[in-house]
Every structure is written in C-alpha cells, then in structure tokens.
Chain A
Amino acid sequence: MSGFVWFAIIIAGLLVAAYLFRLAGQAITSNAPKFRDMTFGVAFGYVFGAALFVWAVYYYFQPKITEAGTPNAGVIFFRWAVQGFIIASIAAFLFRILGRAVGTETTKKLFRSMPLTASFGILVIILYAITAIFAGSIAPYGESEILGAANVLAGGDIAAGGDPAYPLGTDQIGRDILSRLIYGARNTVGIAFITTCLAFFIGGSLGFLAATLQGWLDQLLSRSVDVLMAIPSLIFALLLMTIASAWAVKLGVPLTIFMVLIIAVIDSTRVYRLARAVGLNIVVMDYIEAAKLRGEGLSYLVFKEILPNAMAPLLAEFGLRFCFVFLTIAALSFLGVGIQPPLADWGTMVRDLGPFINFAAFIPTAAVTPLLAAGAIALLTVAVNFVVDWMLHKTSGLQE
C-alpha cells in the first residue's frame, strides 16, 4: 500500500517538476520556440529522463555490502552493467577510428559514415568469429576435459572459493567454463549461422520463384508452407529430431546435421512468406516487365532483378531469424535432442548452470556462471541487430 502511495507521490512530483521546467525554460530563453511550443508530454519526458539519470548515479555509488554484511547484488550487477556499457562504447569508438585509418578506400569510406552502434556490432561479430575459428588455440583447456575441482567460482579469488587457474570457474563436473564458452562459440554460432543461411537459401529462392511464376506453383508452395506453419514449430522440430536421432545412429550421420536441416526447413517457411510478399511487390514493377519482354530467363529475373531490390527486408529478417535459430538450438539442446554433450553449447550451459542463479543474493560471483553463457548469446544478438539495422538504413536510403 505504501509502495503505491510512494509511486503516486513520485509521479505527482515529476509532473510538477515538468511544469516548472517548461515555465523556467520559457522565462530563461525569453520564449524561444523550443520551449514555447513544447507539449507537456515532452517536458515530462525530459524531467523523467533527468530523474532517472540522477537515480542511476546515486545507485551506482551505493556501498557494495549492505549494513547487515551481505553483498548488495543489485548494486554489484548494476556497476558491472554500467562499466560494461562504457567499455563497449569506448571499444566501439576506438574500433571506428581504427577502421577509418586502416584499410582500403572503400572500407575507410564505410567507417566514416558509420554510427557507433554499427561499429560496436561489427567489432563483436569479428571477435566472435575469431573466437570460433581459433577456439582450439585460444581455449586454455579442452572442450570436454574434466579437471580437478568442480564448482569453482568465477573471479579467481581463492578466499572467495575461486581458483586463478580457472578465471571463470568450473562447472558441476569440473570442466573449465572459459574453455567451454570459447568452444561454444564455434558450435552454437557456427551451427546457427549455417542453419540460417540454409533457411534463407531455401525460403528465399522458392519465395521469389512463387512470386515470379505465380499460378499453380505458387499455390502448391504456399499451401505446403501453410501446412508446415500450422504445426507449432518447436514441437514439430522435437518430433522430427526424435525420429532423426534413430536414423542418425542407423546411418552413422551426426545428429547435428539432421538438426541443421530440420531447423532450416522449418524456418525457411517464414523466409518464404517474406520473400514471396516482397517479391510480389517487385514483380509488378515496370523494369521487371521490361526484362520479361526482353526475353530474360527465370534465374536472371530472380537473382539479378528481384533479389537486389529485396535485400533490405531480407537482411532485417536475417538478423531476427539468426537469433531465433540460435534460441531454437538452445531450446532443443535444453530438451536433450539438440547439440549433444560433451560438445559445448551456450544453451545447454545456461540450463546446466541455471541453479546457481539462486545464490545471487549471497555470492554474486556464483550467479555469474549461468549469466556468462546467456550474456554471450545476448551480446551476439544485439550486435547482429545493430549491424543489420545499419545495413538496412544504408541500403534502403532511409533518412534519420
């Protein structure tokens, strides 16, 4: 009850502050149009933002340990988030400067007009790619190597239950988490990337084909896609994976290959829908008619005339689809039919280390263990979307 009262008081205070802020602005700037025509909503937004900022600064400087002697996990995590944000910004800024100075004339030009978010995204993607490719030489231990101690905490502080040999700690059966994270990049990211590309190849080419030819082929493909989409995708994937795991043993083919194919086919239905819709808007253009009347073949129409114009929406979809595929793999792994142990996979790691989150209130470093894998997924997702947004902005010629 008192919480609600406090909330009402704060809102009322902000409303008054917003009114005064606008009034003061008008008086000080002698009625400049910016303040004169400012709506109350905008003024409230400014005041709210300022209040939020003040609170953030205040919270950041709260002591790490409460008076009762327990660690204040909220403050600790908040500090990490702020520090991470600042470090990421600086890294992105430096990377952009580097990009502007080094490289060919074209890449320099690209970096010159690049927003900070995009350069951060590219930096993260490059780092992930390097990690994935050179996982074998970067990782301090083997992927499934079982070392001495289990459940070593992150931080490397012996007094707090850590070990300098394992900077991010070990999992419940004593495997090094840092090494598994690095190998996880190869497995999870690599497989998700291949799967998404395959889904786009299947869905994109069939979608454009349907849009170009229309008629019975369009009907056949579209209705088949409808049928596939009618089945809940995760359950469908689960069903197929169960069948595939029997085949995998019989045929001697790794289950991972089946997983790639199954997820690609299921996700290609979404890509098909988009490609067909975008394609239908493009095939009515006069330049397509001109190409048809010239006597151009189907592949020229699809790849040279339609595809370049469909790039923007497809790229946006790629960013999203990549993240969804990523999560589907993690989900399948969680249910035990995805990437099989002992292969490292971020989805599985989150599940396996999940219970540690309960210790957050007492030992913040323990709670970090599952968050590391989750953070790795989140960071890549954000980075991919930053880059895709930027490319979209560029290719579609959107202003502001």
Chain B
Amino acid sequence: MSDLLTVKDLWIEGRSDETWNPIINGCSLTLKKGEVLGMIGESGAGKSTIGLACMGYTRDGVRISKGSVVFDGIDLVTASAAVKRNLLGKRIAYVAQSAAASFNPAHKIIDQHTEAPVQHGVSGRGESVEDGIELYRKLRLPNPEEIGFRYPHQVSGGQLQRAMTAMAMSCRPDLIIFDEPTTALDVTTQIEVLASIRQIVEEYDTAAIYITHDLAVVAQMADRIKVLLKGDEVEEADTRTMLSDPQEDYTKSLWAVRAFQRPTKPPVSPGSVPVVSVRNITAAYGTTDVLHDVSFDIHAGRTVAVVGESGSGKSTAARCITGLLPPRMGEIAFDGEVLPANYKKRSKEQLRQAQMIYQMADTALNPRKTIGQIIGRPVQFYMGLTGAKKRERVNELLNQIELEPSQYFNRLPSELSGGQKQRVGIARALAAEPKFIICDEVTSALDQLVAEGILRLLADLQDTLGLSYMFITHDLATVKSIADEVVVMKDGNVVEQGPKTSMFTPPHHAYTDLLLSSVPEMDPDWLSDLLKERGVDNIGDAAVKNM
C-alpha cells in the first residue's frame, strides 16, 4: 500500500513589509492510510500552515514557493481549483481550533453537517441527516437525535468540537487535519473530545494529522510525532521512541517543561495574620448566586492556587477581592483590616496593595501606549515619580522582568510576543509595589516553554519581594509547579482546600479526583487506561454528571 499523503521539501513564504519571508523551510512528511501523525511546536512554528498546506491551501498573503503535496497521486500544489474542490471536504477534512468560531451561528448544526455530503453528491440530505445522528451517537453526544437541530450557541464548547469532528467525518474522508481541537477546552471536557476523536479515527481507518502544542495530548493521539521549531523540522519518530528517547536538545527542553517545581515551604505559623482573607463570600450576577459562602486565606509570601473548570467561580472570587463585584454577603480583609466592598470606596493606598495580572495580555495592555507609558503610569500615579526618576524606575522594572530597557521602552504592545506582553503585565503590577497580586490564568494563553519562563519569573519575584499570589488556573500542571496551597472550586463552591502536598495525595474529594485524573500524562497508554478505569461507556458527560 503506497502512502496516502506525501509532502516533499515544502517551502512556504508569507508576505509582510512588501517582501516574502520564509515561514516553512523544507518540510517533508509521509502518511499512510489510517495513520495518525502528531505535529507539535510552539506558536509560530508553522504547524497550522503545514496543516493547511496539506490540503493545498494557504492563507491570504502566504504562498507555497517550492515543493509538492501529493495526496493519493494528485499534487495539490499545482492542482486546479476544480480538482481541489472535488477533494476538500470529501476526501480531506479539517477540524479547526475553535469550533465556536468555525460554525456559522445562523444555521443549525445538522444543516452545516449535511452541506458537504450533499454538495459532493455523496448522499442525499435525508440520508446524511441519519448518518449525522449516527455519528453523534458514536461520538457520545447527549440526545443525538435532537442535538443537530440546535443552533451552535445552544450547545457547549466540548459538544460543538465533537459535532465538528462528526461534520469532518460526514463524507468519510481519507484524511482529517485536526488543528488544536482541544486547546480551548477544560481538562475534563478535553478527555471526552480526545476519546471520541481517537475512537472515530480508528473505527473508519482514517489518516489524521493532529496539530497541538500539548505534548501529553499528542502522546495519546499519534502513532508518530514530528517536532517543529520556527518553520524547521527538528525531528520525527514513533511516539514511544520520541517520548522515551528524544534526540534533539529542543525536544528535550520541551519534554522537561513540566519538571519545574518549587520547594515546599514550611507551614504558616499559627496565629499569623493573612495578607488577604476571604470570609464567607456570597456573590451574584443579577439575582443568580455564582459564589456560595467562599472562604480562604492567603498568607505573606505564599501562593494560593484556585482551581476549577470554567464557570466554577474562580474569576468571580477575584472580582470580589478587587472590589469590581461587591459581594452580596461576607467580607474581604487585607492585613486583618476589612476593605470596603466596592473598589470605588477604597483608598489609593488600599488599591495599590492589591494588583492584578490578566489572562489575555492583548486586552490587558492598551494597544496605543508604549511599554514605557504602560509601566510608567502606576509609577507616576502611586509613587509620584516624574521625569528621569520615573524613567529610572521603569528601567529597573524592565530589568526585573528580563526585558532590555533601551530596546523595549518605546515599543508598542503589538511589537511584542505573547510572553513578553505578559511580562509587561507583570511589570505594571510590580510598579505599584504591591503586597498581593492576583494572577488570572496568566499562563493559559502561552506556549509551554514561555509559560514556564513566566512561572519561574513569578516565583523569583515572590522570593525577592515577598509577594503573595492568588493564582487562578484550570491547569493542574501549573498548580503543581507553583502553588503552596490549593483551593478547588466547582459551581461556585469551595470543594476542597489545603496545602499542595495533601491535595496531590489521596484521598481526594471526588471532584478533585476527576480533575486530577483528567490531566493528560506523557504515557501513551494513559488515555486507554483511564477510559478502561472509568468504564468506556461512562466517558463523556456521564462522567461529569455522575459526580
């Protein structure tokens, strides 16, 4: 049996500033029928570009300058639009990262599902509707008969991602390209999607290219793994070989990211006053309570990680502490002194003591201000420094976050990478010289290597400045590496809290257990074992509902 897809010496260029710059420098790959290739690398490594090129497609302003993409004997680089039209959707399908953004919100899911088979003449509409329901059932979507007749906004993100996988399967393609299909999902939802993708790919013997930046995920899905770095191929090997014996330094560094761990600190001396004390907070948006009687303390120089899925009330708790959402009941104490519930009633000094770092550095930094202005503002506002003194302090802060002041002072946020932007966000918080910083999912939008750098920086700053952190995250690997204490939240309640060491050793609360066991591990057998353990029929929503 010959190869289904052969990419030979593929060079891709992108147009910026009136010139063509290389994006992919000579990539080659082969894929047999029914084989899954994992493609992994940081953002900007060119994973998605290669994925799209495998369909003979390039984004606007991007072109294939050299090389060939041969799918079943047809070179897609030189093929005519008519030939490609006949292949795409029918024999090659694509699953995008954000299903929510890829479905057309104006049409029902099933209507979008049947479009490809009807257009390509694979089957009639009635037939493909029935087939869609069958696929939904196989992918363990709840109410398979009914769910397709809803609009995309009426189903959850994880379900939508599975519906999109079903849509890609609608013509029973020979090749599916998955572009980070689970990156935007919670760990518990991710498992369901991973399991269904793997099952359906196996069942129909479909070849797949699985693009992700999460090593543990790719270990579950792929037969072979290819590592990319800035458009260059680093190495390619069987999954097991790659995991046990990576050859290149870059690959090894990727593998080592999760090893970052801080030493355990001695327990807090009893009777010491916590920096921040959240006391029996109940908060509501409108008339719906979203937090129920939440209490926890954060002590000086400690990191408290607040963990939970989206919608569990982690960020709401942070909004209560900052005073953006005055709680309905309960109070927030800072150094033992109760703070006014609304931030508008707090003094400048009280505001200065608690700072915040945001998840999306893109929206957290004003795009029209230079880095110097962004960091300089709190320096001037709180410390009253101006002119040369302000500049000096900003330079000092830039050095603290490991950015060269002369180079970055006059840049705009858009001229920085994601990790650098996040560092500027940290510097802005530090500029106020606070005691306490809320870190809201600060690493979840970043690549693993970059995220690790941010975590190390935060840890160092804590050690030198004695800061306290409230670390909101849904990623348990992050918790493991940085937290001293953990608070687990679900549906607005604190499910469990305590020191990290006790949290990661059994016995757990049932929900903590589900969270912990859902974090993908590097072991390629992890997913199979886990599914076996949970009972294969029990994955999906049933697992969560049974809690």
- Are A399 and B378 within 8 A (Cβ)? no
Q: Is A308 an interface residue (CB 8 A)?
A: yes
Report A395 CB to chain B, min CB distance, Å: 9
Q: Mark B354-386, 1 if CB is under 8 A from A, else 0.
A: 011010100111111100000001100110000
With both beta carbons as reference points, the residue of chain B lying nearest to A113 in the complex is identified as: B18
- Are A309 and B367 within 8 A (Cβ)? yes
Report B529 CB to chain A, min CB distance, Å: 40
CA distance A292 to B356 in the complex (A): 12
- Are A309 and B343 within 8 A (Cβ)? no
CA distance A292 to B324 in the complex (A): 9
Report A133 CB to chain B, min CB distance, Å: 32
- Are A286 and B358 within 8 A (Cβ)? yes
CA distance A293 to B428 in the complex (A): 12
- Are A287 and B363 within 8 A (Cβ)? yes
Q: Contact check: which of A33, A36, A293, A397 meets B351 at CB < 8 Å?
A: A293
CA distance A164 to B348 in the complex (A): 75
With both beta carbons as reference points, the residue of chain A lying nearest to B373 in the complex is identified as: A304
Contacts of B82 in A (CB 8 A): 37
Q: Is A295 an interface residue (CB 8 A)?
A: yes
Question: Which residues of chain A in 290-326 are interfacial with respect to chain B, using CB atoms and an 8 Å cutoff?
Answer: 290-296, 305, 308-309, 311
Contacts of B428 in A (CB 8 A): 290
Q: Is B518 an interface residue (CB 8 A)?
A: no
Report A27 CB to chain B, min CB distance, Å: 15
- Are A290 and B80 within 8 A (Cβ)? no
- Are B360 and A286 within 8 A (Cβ)? yes
CA distance A399 to B323 in the complex (A): 40
Q: Mark A385-400, 1 if CB is under 8 A from B, else 0.
A: 0000000000001011
With both beta carbons as reference points, the residue of chain A lying nearest to B80 in the complex is identified as: A36
- Are A286 and B351 within 8 A (Cβ)? no
Q: How large is the interface on B (under 10, 10 to 19, 20 to 34, 35 or more residues)?
A: 20 to 34
Q: How many A-B residue pairs have CB under 8 A?
A: 56
CA distance A122 to B269 in the complex (A): 71
Contacts of B360 in A (CB 8 A): 286
Q: Is A165 an interface residue (CB 8 A)?
A: no
Report B316 CB to chain A, min CB distance, Å: 14
CA distance A36 to B355 in the complex (A): 59
- Are A296 and B364 within 8 A (Cβ)? no
Q: Contact check: which of B358, B368, B369, B381 meets A296 at CB < 8 Å?
A: B381
Contacts of B369 in A (CB 8 A): 308
Q: Is B61 an interface residue (CB 8 A)?
A: yes
- Are B358 and A290 within 8 A (Cβ)? yes
- Are B381 and A309 within 8 A (Cβ)? no
CA distance A255 to B136 in the complex (A): 73
Report A393 CB to chain B, min CB distance, Å: 15
With both beta carbons as reference points, the residue of chain A lying nearest to B429 in the complex is identified as: A290
Contacts of A289 in B (CB 8 A): 324, 356
Tell me whether A37 and B81 are in contact in the complex, defined as CB-CB below 8 angstroms, given that A286-B360, A309-B368 are known contacts.
Answer: yes
Tell me whether A295 and B365 are in contact in the complex, defined as CB-CB below 8 angstroms, given that A36-B80, A399-B61 are known contacts.
Answer: no
Interface size for A (C-beta < 8 A) is 21
Of B323, B356, B414, most buried by chain A (CB within 10 Å of CB) is B356
- Are A293 and B356 within 8 A (Cβ)? yes
- Are B322 and A293 within 8 A (Cβ)? yes
Contacts of A227 in B (CB 8 A): none
Contacts of A33 in B (CB 8 A): 78, 80
Contacts of A305 in B (CB 8 A): 366
- Are A294 and B364 within 8 A (Cβ)? no
Q: Is B432 an interface residue (CB 8 A)?
A: yes
Q: Contact check: which of B81, B358, B414, B432 meets A397 at CB < 8 Å?
A: B414
Q: Contact check: which of B324, B355, B364 meets A287 at CB < 8 Å?
A: B364
Q: Is A285 an interface residue (CB 8 A)?
A: yes
Q: Contact check: which of A37, A294, A311 meets B378 at CB < 8 Å?
A: A294
Report B443 CB to chain A, min CB distance, Å: 16
- Are B348 and A295 within 8 A (Cβ)? yes
Report A84 CB to chain B, min CB distance, Å: 31
Contacts of A285 in B (CB 8 A): 363-364, 366
CA distance A311 to B366 in the complex (A): 13
- Are B366 and A309 within 8 A (Cβ)? yes
With both beta carbons as reference points, the residue of chain A lying nearest to B367 in the complex is identified as: A309
Of A292, A311, A397, most buried by chain B (CB within 10 Å of CB) is A292
- Are A308 and B366 within 8 A (Cβ)? yes
Contacts of A309 in B (CB 8 A): 366-368
With both beta carbons as reference points, the residue of chain B lying nearest to A36 in the complex is identified as: B80
Question: Which residues of chain B in 53-79 are interfacial with respect to chain A, using CB atoms and an 8 Å cutoff?
Answer: 61, 78
Report A341 CB to chain B, min CB distance, Å: 47
With both beta carbons as reference points, the residue of chain B lying nearest to A289 in the complex is identified as: B324
Report B339 CB to chain A, min CB distance, Å: 13
Report A351 CB to chain B, min CB distance, Å: 44
- Are B368 and A292 within 8 A (Cβ)? no
Contacts of A397 in B (CB 8 A): 414
Q: Contact check: which of B81, B356, B368, B414 meets A290 at CB < 8 Å?
A: B356
CA distance A290 to B424 in the complex (A): 13
CA distance A192 to B324 in the complex (A): 44
Contacts of A37 in B (CB 8 A): 80-82
Contacts of A399 in B (CB 8 A): 61
With both beta carbons as reference points, the residue of chain A lying nearest to B438 in the complex is identified as: A293
With both beta carbons as reference points, the residue of chain A lying nearest to B319 in the complex is identified as: A289
- Are A292 and B343 within 8 A (Cβ)? yes
Contacts of B61 in A (CB 8 A): 399-400
Contacts of A290 in B (CB 8 A): 356, 358, 364, 428
- Are B365 and A287 within 8 A (Cβ)? yes
Contacts of A311 in B (CB 8 A): 368
Report A109 CB to chain B, min CB distance, Å: 14
Tell me whether A294 and B432 are in contact in the complex, defined as CB-CB below 8 angstroms, given that A289-B324, A305-B366 are known contacts.
Answer: yes
- Are B351 and A294 within 8 A (Cβ)? yes
Tell me whether A293 and B364 are in contact in the complex, defined as CB-CB below 8 angstroms, given that A36-B80, A308-B369 are known contacts.
Answer: no
Contacts of A295 in B (CB 8 A): 346, 348, 351, 381
Q: Mark A176-216, 1 if CB is under 8 A from B, else 0.
A: 00000000000000000000000000000000000000000
Contacts of B366 in A (CB 8 A): 285, 287, 305, 308-309
With both beta carbons as reference points, the residue of chain B lying nearest to A31 in the complex is identified as: B80
Question: Which residues of chain B in 274-326 are interfacial with respect to chain A, using CB atoms and an 8 Å cutoff?
Answer: 322-324
Contacts of B322 in A (CB 8 A): 293
CA distance A291 to B365 in the complex (A): 10
Report B252 CB to chain A, min CB distance, Å: 36
Contacts of A294 in B (CB 8 A): 351, 377-378, 381-382, 432
CA distance A173 to B377 in the complex (A): 64
CA distance A397 to B368 in the complex (A): 11
With both beta carbons as reference points, the residue of chain A lying nearest to B60 in the complex is identified as: A400
With both beta carbons as reference points, the residue of chain A lying nearest to B77 in the complex is identified as: A33
Question: Which residues of chain B in 382-406 are interfacial with respect to chain A, using CB atoms and an 8 Å cutoff?
Answer: 382
Report A305 CB to chain B, min CB distance, Å: 6
With both beta carbons as reference points, the residue of chain A lying nearest to B84 in the complex is identified as: A37
With both beta carbons as reference points, the residue of chain B lying nearest to A305 in the complex is identified as: B366
Of A33, A287, A291, A308, most buried by chain B (CB within 10 Å of CB) is A287
With both beta carbons as reference points, the residue of chain B lying nearest to A296 in the complex is identified as: B381
Question: Which residues of chain A in 28-46 are interfacial with respect to chain B, using CB atoms and an 8 Å cutoff?
Answer: 33, 36-37
CA distance A287 to B358 in the complex (A): 9
Report B393 CB to chain A, min CB distance, Å: 16
Q: Mark A360-400, 1 if CB is under 8 A from B, else 0.
A: 00000000000000000000000000000000000001011
Of A33, A295, A296, most buried by chain B (CB within 10 Å of CB) is A295
CA distance A63 to B182 in the complex (A): 72
Contacts of A36 in B (CB 8 A): 80-81
Contacts of B80 in A (CB 8 A): 33, 36-37
Enumerate the 3 nearest inter-chain pairs by beta-carbon distance, A residue then B residue, closest first: A308-B368, A286-B364, A37-B81
Q: List 30 A-B contacts (CB under 8 A).
A: A33-B78, A33-B80, A36-B81, A285-B364, A285-B366, A286-B358, A286-B360, A287-B366, A289-B356, A290-B364, A290-B428, A291-B377, A292-B324, A292-B343, A293-B322, A293-B323, A293-B351, A293-B355, A294-B377, A294-B381, A294-B382, A294-B432, A295-B351, A296-B381, A305-B366, A308-B366, A308-B369, A311-B368, A397-B414, A399-B61
5 other A-B residue contacts (CB within 8 Å) besides A294-B378, A294-B381, A308-B368: A37-B80, A37-B82, A287-B366, A308-B366, A309-B367
